[in-house]
């Protein structure tokens, strides 16, 4: 281990290293909280000044990060947020937690990562450790980031240190948090790996070292491709079994009784969140560079992205059976978070469902107890809506109520009692009801 690495390791182990986290969203802010709870001083960086101002006033915009926690760390002068990226020089460790979306053609959009890397390069100093957590294709850390960071003359692995450790956040999961989920770590060199491992050893239950940054990048893709493919399988089976008059949920319950060789996955209205709908296509895109078409992955993506259309078709069919056209129908969508009991609408299938219903002439409103306003979505710029109160009168006025997100706070018996037609995409209503259509 060289002298710079040895000095940094001592700062990490003594918790004297100042941590800089770039990107204060659903990944970055929980990471900030974890570092703070372990006693590290932390600076949060974000281009969104509204977020920065809220955090510095002790206000949180994510449900599982409390205002009291923020105020405690602010009072202790352990944390502050800033949009001044010149202050990156003050950080010993820089962790990147920025979005990696797809562009309008379904290709990886690394602009956030690369622009952030260029900003870091302009403020890079000797001895710093830079870690990318944003999900990406293999080769991003060593092939795309490294040349940018080295452009000023400092050498990765000698003058500064570079690693990749994929985020594993699961919003709303009460059993696992940032600190209790094992962390995969890959370094550019042995010193890079040793420092990154030392860093995460201080804040998470277990680190899992792999041989390279590319292996760590591929690990994250495998995790999410595994889920995407299996969800696509049960989504397709749901459609097939529905035509056969078989309840897919009953079938899954039966299959789950097998104590080996089976893992249950559940169908839904489509994929949501920032990982599963997007990450598989990073590998699909990269594979073309190696003259390989990932047909299995692409087929899974095609099935999953078609599910909102299936929900809308089932809604139209349900209305037709009751002598009502979709055009002019009042449709109430319950839940626009991408999964239950969270306040995160990123890539939510509910947004696509609402968009498709509106295209077909329906008058659509939504209720979500955790998301008061729906706005600012990249793919749905015109989808600016406010959550409406959920009342018996509103349910009775609706021609169809679509259960898109099965929040635990919803009283489904009460909803079914008052709504003339319920389209249930999550098996929220277990008992058979004449006014409930599974979708």
The CA distance from 169 to 274, in Å, is 10
Whole-number Å distance between alpha carbons of 269 and 279: 19
How far CA 379 is from CA of 24, 114, 238, in Å, comes to 21, 22, 27
Q: How many angstroms separate the CA atoms of 393 and 401, rounded?
A: 13
Q: CB of 369 within 8 A of CB of 342? A: no
> Rounded to whole angstroms, how far apart are CA atoms 258 and 251?
12
User: Closest Cα to residue 303, out of 201, 232, 207, 373?
Assistant: 232
Map residue 44 onto helix, strand or coil: strand
Which active-site residues does the annotation give? 275
Q: Strand 400-403 to strand 422-424: parallel, antiparallel, or no bridges (unpaired)?
A: parallel
Q: Would you put residue 15 in left (φ > 0), alpha (ψ -120 to 50) or beta?
A: left
Give the C-alpha separation, 415 to 69, whole Å: 36
- Residue 293, judged by CB atoms within 10 A of its CB (0-12, 13-18, 19+), counts as exposed
Please give the backbone phi and psi of residue 334, each rounded to the nearest 5 degrees, phi first: -100, 110
Residues 6+ apart with CB under 8 A from 280: 221, 224, 225, 228, 294, 297, 300, 301
The three-state secondary structure class of 131 is: strand
| Region of residue 301 (phi > 0: left; psi between -120 and 50: alpha; otherwise: beta) | alpha
CA 157 to CA 162: how far, in whole Å? 7
Terminal C-alpha separation, the chain: 58
């Amino acid at each position: 281990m060289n002298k710079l690495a040895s000095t940094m390791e001592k700062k990490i182990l003594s918790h004297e290293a100042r941590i800089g986290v770039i990107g204060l969203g659903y990944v970055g802010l929980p990471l900030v909280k974890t570092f703070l709870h372990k006693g590290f001083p932390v600076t949060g960086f974000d281009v969104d000044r509204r977020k920065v101002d809220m955090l510095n006033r002790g206000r949180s915009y994510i449900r599982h990060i409390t205002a009291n926690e923020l105020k405690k760390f602010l009072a202790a002068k352990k944390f502050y947020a800033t949009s001044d990226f010149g202050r990156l020089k003050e950080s010993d460790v820089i962790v990147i937690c920025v979005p990696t979306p797809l562009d309008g053609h379904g290709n990886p959009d690394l602009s956030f990562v690369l622009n952030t890397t260029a900003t870091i390069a302009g403020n890079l100093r000797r001895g710093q450790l830079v870690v990318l957590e944003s999900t990406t294709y293999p080769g991003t850390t060593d092939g795309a980031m490294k040349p940018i960071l080295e452009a000023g003359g400092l050498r990765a692995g000698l003058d500064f240190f570079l690693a990749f450790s994929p985020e594993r956040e699961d919003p709303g999961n009460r059993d696992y948090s940032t600190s209790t989920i094992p962390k995969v770590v890959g370094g550019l060199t042995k010193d890079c790996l040793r420092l990154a491992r030392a860093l995460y050893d201080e804040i998470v239950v277990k680190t899992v070292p792999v041989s390279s940054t590319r292996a760590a990048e591929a690990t994250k893709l495998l995790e999410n491709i595994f889920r995407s493919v299996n969800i696509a399988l049960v989504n397709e089976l749901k459609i097939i079994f529905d035509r056969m008059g078989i309840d897919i949920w009953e079938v899954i319950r039966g299959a789950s009784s097998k104590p080996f060789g089976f893992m249950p996955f559940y169908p839904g209205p489509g994929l949501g969140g920032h990982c599963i709908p997007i990450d598989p296509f990073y590998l699909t895109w990269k594979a073309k560079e190696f003259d390989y078409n990932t047909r299995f992955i692409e087929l899974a993506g095609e099935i999953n992205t078609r599910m909102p259309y299936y929900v809308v078709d089932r809604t139209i069919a349900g209305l037709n059976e009751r002598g009502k056209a979709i055009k002019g129908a009042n449709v109430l969508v319950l839940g626009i978070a991408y999964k239950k009991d969270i306040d995160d609408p990123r890539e939510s299938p509910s947004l696509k469902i609402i968009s498709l219903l509106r295209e077909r002439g329906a008058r659509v409103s939504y209720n979500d107890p955790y998301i008061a306003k729906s706005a600012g979505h990249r793919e749905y710029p015109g989808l600016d809506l406010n959550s409406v109160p959920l009342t018996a009168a509103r349910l009775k006025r609706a021609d169809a109520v679509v259960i898109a997100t099965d929040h635990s706070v919803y009283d489904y018996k009460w909803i079914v009692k008052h709504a003339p037609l319920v389209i249930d995409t999550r098996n929220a209503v277990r008992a058979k009801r004449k006014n409930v259509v599974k979708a």
